[in-house]
């Protein structure tokens, strides 16, 4: 078979399809554990998707990008929409109910992140918005320290002149040395260290407590990017030793455009409002403006109350089912990583080491096949959704591919497990990747403006609008 592109890469089957070697043993589905390990249900469970040969149950391995909504989140949203009204703007019954739920949502999120007395919980649009809000609130002379492994949301908002980027570490020990050295070399009255809870590229859990202790010993504050961490591990500001935490609802099974910045109030109250407008003001006169303090200072305008309710409902469900979720993801994540590592022609990637603790994420390449073609073939031929590219962490991916044997690969494939993933999905992915590594794609593909697509793709893409 041939693959059409410029120049056209060629793939030839080395053996009949039935002889593809996967060497996989069955693994029990965590959902079969019954009442001993209940799991929240997602609204997309059993979603049928078209392939080149028919229709299959969608195998969702793209949780690290955006999670499907929980059924409990949909229920909460449906309830909130019935009385949906202005927040903090009216005395009508619906407005008072909506305002109460908005603040109760803030309290739920406060509990979810382990906020301390005096900490603020500010609703934002997402993690990117939260980091940009914090960047606007830093004292003028603040020195920022951030590893180049960070997602662009955490890497880019800071002043270039006062930001010190630490290179990609090769081990936990290397990370501690890099941070300690940077803090020793760059002094300042105010310093902020940016840390990831878990890598959005490899899923590896960062040594947050150890690095935060180094920062505190040097008199620096710490902001934790929990976007990839909070869906899988408990977050507690005090226990982790951090000053601020940032997270996104669309990573937490509440994809309704809500995020959070939670943490110490002094820098937030001293800064100019993130947005100027109603709700952020105490008083407006011809002589000037008196701004609010607390969360309201940075939540001008009519807030996304439905997003806040969705986020709070998701946080409640994740807290309630935390042990079952971790067991489910640990089982399937281990299966995924071990299975990929056993396939000849597949390379998996790690920042620290292959056996380092991680959430259920695996990043890999297939020898001789462009990662976007791997992604397209998994979707078209097997009904599997993964992510390909550099995952908004270009410096991290470039370093990983440069340091490891990746052939000519410049991008990678990321498979991320979550509540929409089952054991059958994992086995289907492993079998599909093994087939790709040994034989290449089943169909002919052409590279166009929208990426790789099967020649004569029969799948209908002109889906009717939902309204």
Residue with the bigger pLDDT between 449 and 30: it is 449
| Cβ atoms of residues 348 and 362 within 8 Å | yes
pLDDT classification of 90: cutoffs 50, 70, 90:
confident
| Cβ atoms of residues 417 and 62 within 8 Å | no
| Rounded percentage of the chain residues whose pLDDT exceeds 90 | 85
> What pLDDT does 89 receive?
80
| Rounded percentage of the chain residues whose pLDDT exceeds 70 | 91
d(CA 404, CA 426): 25
> What pLDDT does 464 receive?
87
Answer whether residue 404 shows pLDDT above 70: no
> What pLDDT does 406 receive?
56
d(CA 55, CA 391): 28
pLDDT classification of 407: cutoffs 50, 70, 90:
low
> What pLDDT does 460 receive?
76
| Cβ atoms of residues 50 and 382 within 8 Å | no
pLDDT classification of 263: cutoffs 50, 70, 90:
very high
Answer whether residue 250 shows pLDDT above 70: yes
Answer whether residue 6 shows pLDDT above 50: no
- Average pLDDT of span 381-399: 97
| Cβ atoms of residues 183 and 191 within 8 Å | yes
> What pLDDT does 367 receive?
95
> What pLDDT does 3 receive?
46
- Average pLDDT of span 355-376: 97
> What pLDDT does 29 receive?
44
> What pLDDT does 405 receive?
61
Answer whether residue 308 shows pLDDT above 90: yes
Tokens representing 220 are: 């620096």
Residues 6+ apart with CB under 8 A from 187: 143
- Average pLDDT of span 74-79: 97
pLDDT classification of 38: cutoffs 50, 70, 90:
confident
Instruction: Name the E strands within 16-175.
Output: 48-50, 55-57, 59-60, 120-124, 143-147, 163-166
> What b-and-e string marks burial along 102-126, b requiring 16 or more CB atoms within 10 Å of the CB?
beebbebbbebbbbeeebbbbbbbb
> What pLDDT does 37 receive?
58
Answer whether residue 36 shows pLDDT above 90: no
Catalytic annotation, pick one of 137, 315, 392, 396: 392
pLDDT tens digit string along 197-231?
Answer: 999 999 999 999 999 999 999 999 999 999 999 99
Q: What pTM, to 2 d.p., does this model score?
A: 0.91
Instruction: Calculate the average pLDDT of the chain.
Output: 91
Cα distances (angstroms) measured from residue 76 to each of 23, 81, 180, 382:
44, 9, 45, 34
d(CA 303, CA 279): 9
392 is catalytic: yes
Q: Is 46 helix (H, G, I), strand (E, B) or coil?
A: coil
> What pLDDT does 1 receive?
44
Answer whether residue 441 shows pLDDT above 60: yes
| Cβ atoms of residues 121 and 246 within 8 Å | no
> What pLDDT does 259 receive?
98
> Which domains are assigned to the chain?
17-68+323-454 (3.90.1150.10), 83-320 (3.40.640.10)
């Amino acid at each position: 078979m041939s693959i059409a592109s410029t120049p056209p890469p060629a793939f030839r089957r080395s053996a009949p399809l039935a002889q593809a070697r996967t060497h996989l043993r069955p693994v029990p589905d965590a959902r079969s554990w019954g009442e001993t390990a209940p799991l929240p249900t997602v609204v997309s469970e059993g979603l049928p998707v078209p392939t080149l040969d028919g229709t299959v149950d969608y195998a969702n391995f793209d949780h690290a990008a955006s999670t499907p909504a929980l059924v409990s989140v949909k229920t909460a949203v449906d309830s909130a929409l019935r009385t949906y009204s202005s927040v903090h703007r009216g005395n009508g019954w619906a407005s008072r109910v909506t305002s109460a739920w908005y603040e109760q949502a803030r309290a739920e999120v406060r509990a979810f992140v382990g906020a301390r007395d005096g900490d603020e919980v500010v609703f934002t649009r997402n993690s990117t918005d939260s980091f940009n809000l914090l960047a606007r609130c830093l004292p003028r002379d603040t020195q920022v320290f951030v590893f180049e492994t960070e997602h662009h949301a955490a890497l880019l908002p800071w002043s270039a002149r006062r930001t010190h980027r630490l290179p990609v570490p090769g081990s936990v020990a290397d990370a501690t040395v890099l941070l300690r050295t940077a803090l020793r070399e760059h002094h300042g009255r105010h310093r902020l260290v940016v840390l990831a809870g878990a890598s959005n590229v490899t899923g590896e859990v960062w040594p947050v407590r150890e690095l935060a202790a180094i920062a505190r010993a040097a008199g620096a504050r710490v902001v934790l990017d929990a976007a990839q961490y909070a869906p899988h591990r408990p977050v507690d500001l005090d226990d982790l030793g951090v000053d601020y935490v940032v997270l996104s609802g669309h990573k937490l099974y509440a994809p309704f455009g809500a995020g959070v910045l939670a943490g110490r109030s002094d820098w937030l109250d001293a800064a100019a409002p993130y947005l100027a407008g109603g709700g952020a003001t105490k008083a407006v006169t011809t002589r000037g403006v008196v701004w609010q303090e607390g969360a309201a200072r940075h939540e001008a305008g009519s807030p996304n109350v439905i997003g806040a309710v969705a986020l709070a409902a998701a946080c409640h469900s994740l807290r309630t089912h935390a042990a079952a979720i971790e067991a489910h993801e640990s089982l399937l994540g281990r299966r995924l990583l071990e299975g990929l590592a056993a396939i000849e022609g597949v390379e998996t990637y790690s920042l620290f080491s292959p056996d380092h603790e991680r959430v259920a994420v695996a990043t890999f390449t297939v020898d001789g096949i462009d990662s976007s073609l791997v992604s397209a073939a998994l979707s078209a031929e097997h009904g599997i959704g993964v992510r390909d590219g550099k995952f908004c962490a270009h410096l991290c991916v470039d370093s990983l591919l440069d340091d490891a044997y990746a052939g000519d690969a410049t991008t990678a494939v990321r498979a991320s497990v979550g509540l929409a993933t089952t054991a059958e999905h994992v086995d289907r992915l492993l079998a599909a990747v093994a087939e790709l590594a040994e034989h290449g794609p089943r169909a002919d593909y052409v590279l166009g403006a929208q990426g790789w697509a099967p020649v004569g793709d029969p799948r209908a893409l002109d889906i009717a609008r939902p309204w």
